[in-house]
């Protein structure tokens, strides 16, 4: 009995210190990034862009990590969300309604993948490739047959506040801030949206439905034994996740000032990299920490890519290659590190 | 309470690999009765559980639970009446979720999931009370990740969770086989305590002749998808592990060599 409680106290202490370490690592990371950006001459636009894409990282976290479902649908849900948002804004709807519609559009894309998986028993990887292929045409149709919808002169979430914000910024901090005003505004607006989304997800994933979705990935047998329809959990999970990809699409479209049919290209790899970078750097343990890590991972991805671009002075045509390299580094480094450690142990350091 | 009538389960029907896992099997379990099931590997014990819980459909026969025909009812719809604990301690609880969150999941049994958080207070205190009796040191760790618990602790949590919503039937599939002797004893004590306090009908598969003799009211031996003998009443009370082992060996005497054994 005494041995048990001693062991218990020890485990509890380990858990507490691991939780504290997460926040310490997060604080250290913020400092490192800040130093890195000022030294490496990286524009803060990279932060705004990372925040725009961040919810797509959350999508990949929800599908791969929470549901245990290999889902590439994000590549299709993202441009569909973006296109829906752009078309609604062009037709005079408010940005809020456009963003909400983008969520629904993304969620329906996720539903398609879920239904193909459940009805035809086609595994997630193939089901989502089928959906991405079809999504390309759907995106084109949403945009009225055009491959690009510009938002020039339309009221977006950003353009609505940009004039007032620029005026306030210049008044407070002087004229040198004028150039950064759009970037700062994006960071603030997207930051608030992401905080709201993470807050809702944090609540949702701890409700009974949320718990059932988490258990579906880790122990589907237990979900069935609990009397829950685990197919329903896959549907709810994929719809929520890809709805967020749609929202990310709508944010990026407003940031870029146009929607494009090829906007989601390679996004799955980027989302996966974001999740892994977040896990490696922050070592999250609880649901809340895991959500924060996915967003942080996307930020680190965009900032490192921007740094590589400015350091090597590359043309924008090379962007996908550099993305692939950053992803490779994110995936490969932890594995190489493990092999190196095993090697060291075997050879006595 | 539970009745199986002439249930047959066939795997790979119509192919050269056809296996008749259950052959025309009938079994009655009364309310509050505790039945232990023994038999060699491949005798059909786990298939018996799968067909009762709905994981495997029968090719023929009928299964009735508490007056309802559940023969073809989907697994998730009959599960509120049937608690099940597996040999592998990892199967009954979900890692990445805390003990309390696992408990919330178990409490959903028999209704649909809602946006509620946390279990009802009386369910939580009942849960803690059960765990306290075996001094598992878990009472104050409800917010610990289940992945951090030992196999014995996880199995104890699984067992209490399986009976949380008062099912009619509890199926135990060698649920102490993967545990050390000390943990196994704790889980067995917990099993007896839960079965008697809730008047559960229990069917327990075991490879321990000791457990089969000490626990429950009736012993059933299965072989090649059939029940080959039952021991109940006076005979069961005086039963010794050695008697069972003797009867076990008598099955392999050669008189009943099956096709499978000959071709094996």
Structure confidence by residue, pLDDT tens digits, A183-223 = 999 999 999 999 999 999 999 999 999 999 999 999 988 88
Cβ contact B117–A209 (<8 Å): no
Q: How far is CA A239 from CA A122, A296, B189, in A?
A: 18, 23, 45
Does residue A56 have a pLDDT over 70? Answer: yes
- Output the CA torsion sign for A180, A183, A185, A188: negative
pLDDT at A274: 94
Q: Is the pLDDT of residue A349 over 60?
A: no
CATH of domain B2-263: 3.40.50.300
Identity of the highest mean pLDDT range in A291-295, B103-107, B150-154: A291-295
Q: Is B31 on the interface with A (CB under 8 A)?
A: no
Of the residues A225, A229, A236, A291, the best mutation for testing chain B's interface (the one with the most B CB atoms within 10 Å of its CB) is: A225
Residue by residue, DSSP assigns B89-125 as: TTTSS-TTSBHHHHHHHHTTTTS---S--S--HHHHH
- A215 vs B105: CB contact, 8 Å cut-off? yes
* Residues of B in Cβ contact (< 8 Å) with A215: 94, 97, 105
Say whether B76 and A230 touch across the interface (CB within 8 A). Answer: yes
Percent above pLDDT 90 for chain B: 37
The residues, any chain, with a CB within 8 Å of residue A46's CB and separated by 6 or more, are A37, A302, A303, A305, A306, A307
Q: Which residues of B touch A225 (CB under 8 A)?
A: 53, 75, 79, 84
| Tens of pLDDT, residues A252-273 | 999 999 999 998 888 998 999 9
CB contact under 8 A, A211 and B101: yes
CA angle B54, B59, B62 (to 5 degrees): 65
Predicted local distance difference test score (pLDDT) of residue B264: 43
**Given pLDDT bands bounded at 50, 70 and 90, which one contains residue A5?**
low
Predicted ipTM > 0.95: no
Q: How far is A303 from chain B (nearest CA, A)?
A: 30
Rounded to the nearest angstrom, the minimum Cα separation between A312 and chain B is 42
Confidence of residue A246 (pLDDT cuts 50, 70, 90): very high
- Residue listed under structure tokens 């626990």: B215
Please indicate whether, in this complex, the C-beta atoms of B94 and A222 are within 8 angstroms of each other: yes
pLDDT tens digits along B114-149: 888 877 888 888 888 888 877 777 878 888 889 989
How confident is the model over B202-216, as pLDDT tens digits? 999 998 888 888 888
Cα–Cα distance between A229 and A316 in angstroms, integer? 47
- Ordered by start, the domain boundaries in chain B are 2-263
Kindly provide the b/e burial profile for residues B174-185, where b requires at least 16 CB atoms within 10 angstroms of the residue's own CB. Answer: bbbebbeeebbe
pLDDT class for A316, splitting at 50, 70, 90?
Answer: confident
Confidence of residue B256 (pLDDT cuts 50, 70, 90): very low
Residue B255 scores a pLDDT above 80: no
Task: Decide: A267 and A74 in contact? Cβ < 8 Å.
Answer: yes
Considering chain B, what is the average pLDDT of its residues? Answer: 86
Residue A205 and residue A201: Cα distance in Å, rounded? 6
Whether pLDDT at A146 is above 90: yes
Tokens of A7: 């062991």
pLDDT band at B257 (very low <50, low <70, confident <90, very high): very low
Average pLDDT of B6-14? 89
Q: Please report, rounded to a whole number, the percentage of residues in chain B having pLDDT higher than 70.
A: 95
Question: Given this model, what pLDDT does residue A266 score?
Answer: 86
Chain A residues with CB-CB distance to B145 below 8 A: 15, 285
How much is the mean pLDDT over chain A?
Answer: 91
What pLDDT does A55 receive?
Answer: 97
Confidence label for A4 from pLDDT (cuts 50, 70 and 90): low
Q: What is the mean pLDDT of residues B220-245?
A: 86
Out of A34-38, A90-94, B80-84, least confident range: A34-38
A97-137 per-position pLDDT tens digit: 999 999 999 999 999 999 999 999 999 999 999 999 999 99
CA distance A14 to chain B (A): 11
pLDDT digits (tens, 9 = 90+) for A296-314: 999 999 998 888 888 888 8
| pLDDT of B110 strictly over 80 | no
CA nearest neighbour of B45 among B131, B213, B174, B139: B174
C-beta separation of B67 from B7 below 8 A: no
The pLDDT, as a whole number, for residue A6 is 61
CA of B84: which chain A residue's CA is closest? Answer: A225
Instruction: Work out the minimum CA distance from B106 to partner chain A, whole angstroms.
Output: 6
Exposure of A131 by Cβ count < 10 A (0-12 exposed, 13-18 middle, 19+ buried)? buried
């Amino acid at each position: 009995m005494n041995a048990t409680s001693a062991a218990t106290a020890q485990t509890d202490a380990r858990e507490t210190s691991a939780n504290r370490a997460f926040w310490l690592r997060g604080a250290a990371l913020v400092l490192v990034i800040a130093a890195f950006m000022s030294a490496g001459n990286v524009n803060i636009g990279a932060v705004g862009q990372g925040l725009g894409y961040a919810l797509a990282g959350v999508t990949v976290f929800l599908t791969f990590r929470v549901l245990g479902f290999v889902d590439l649908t994000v590549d299709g849900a993202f441009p569909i969300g973006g296109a829906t948002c752009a078309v609604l804004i062009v037709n005079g709807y408010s940005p809020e309604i456009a963003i909400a519609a983008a969520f629904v559009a993304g969620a329906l894309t996720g539903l398609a993948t879920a239904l193909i998986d459940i009805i035809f028993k086609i595994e997630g990887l193939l089901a989502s490739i089928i959906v991405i292929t079809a999504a390309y045409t759907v995106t084109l149709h949403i945009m009225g047959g055009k491959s690009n919808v510009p938002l020039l002169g339309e009221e977006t979430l950003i353009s609505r506040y940009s004039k007032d914000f620029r005026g306030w910024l210049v008044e407070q901090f002087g004229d040198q801030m004028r150039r950064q005003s759009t970037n700062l505004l994006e960071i603030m607006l997207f930051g608030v949206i992401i905080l709201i989304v993470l807050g809702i997800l944090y609540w949702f994933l701890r409700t009974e439905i949320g718990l059932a979705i988490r258990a579906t990935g880790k122990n589907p047998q237990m979900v069935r034994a609990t009397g829950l329809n685990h197919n329903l959990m896959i549907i709810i999970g994929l719809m929520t996740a890809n709805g967020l990809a749609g929202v990310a699409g709508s944010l990026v479209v407003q940031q870029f000032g146009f929607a494009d049919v090829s906007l989601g290209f390679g996004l799955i790899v980027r989302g996966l990299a974001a999740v892994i970078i977040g896990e490696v750097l922050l070592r999250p343990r609880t649901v809340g920490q895991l959500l924060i890590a996915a967003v942080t991972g996307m930020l680190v991805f965009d900032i490192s890519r921007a740094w590589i671009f400015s350091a090597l002075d590359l043309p924008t045509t090379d962007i996908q290659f550099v993305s692939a390299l950053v992803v490779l580094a994110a995936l490969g480094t932890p594995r190489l590190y493990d092999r190196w450690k095993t090697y060291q142990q075997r050879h006595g350091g | 309470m539970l009745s199986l009538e002439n249930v047959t389960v066939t795997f790979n029907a119509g192919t050269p690999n056809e296996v008749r896992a259950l052959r025309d099997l009938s079994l009655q379990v009364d309310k509050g009765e505790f039945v232990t099931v023994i038999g060699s590997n491949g005798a059909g014990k786990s298939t018996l559980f799968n067909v009762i819980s709905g994981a495997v459909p029968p090719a023929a026969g009928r299964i009735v639970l508490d007056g309802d025909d559940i023969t073809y009812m989907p697994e998730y719809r009959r599960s509120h009446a049937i608690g099940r604990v597996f040999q592998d301690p990892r199967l009954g609880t979900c890692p990445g979720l805390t003990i309390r969150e696992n408990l919330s999941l178990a409490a959903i049994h028999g209704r649909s999931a809602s946006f509620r958080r946390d279990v009802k207070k009386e369910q939580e205190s009942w849960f803690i009370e059960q765990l306290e009796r075996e001094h598992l040191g878990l009472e104050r760790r409800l917010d610990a990740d289940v992945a951090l618990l030992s196999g014995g602790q996880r199995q104890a949590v699984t067992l209490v969770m399986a009976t949380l919503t008062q099912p009619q039937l509890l199926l135990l599939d060698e649920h102490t086989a993967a545990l050390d002797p000390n943990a196994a004893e704790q889980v067995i004590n917990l099993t007896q305590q839960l079965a008697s306090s809730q008047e559960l009908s229990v069917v327990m598969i075991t490879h321990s002749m000791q457990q089969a003799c000490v626990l429950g009211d009736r012993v059933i031996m299965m072989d090649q998808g059939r029940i080959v003998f039952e021991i109940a009443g006076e005979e069961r009370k005086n039963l010794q592990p050695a008697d069972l082992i003797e009867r076990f060996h008598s099955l392999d005497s050669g008189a009943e060599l099956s096709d499978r054994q000959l071709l094996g």
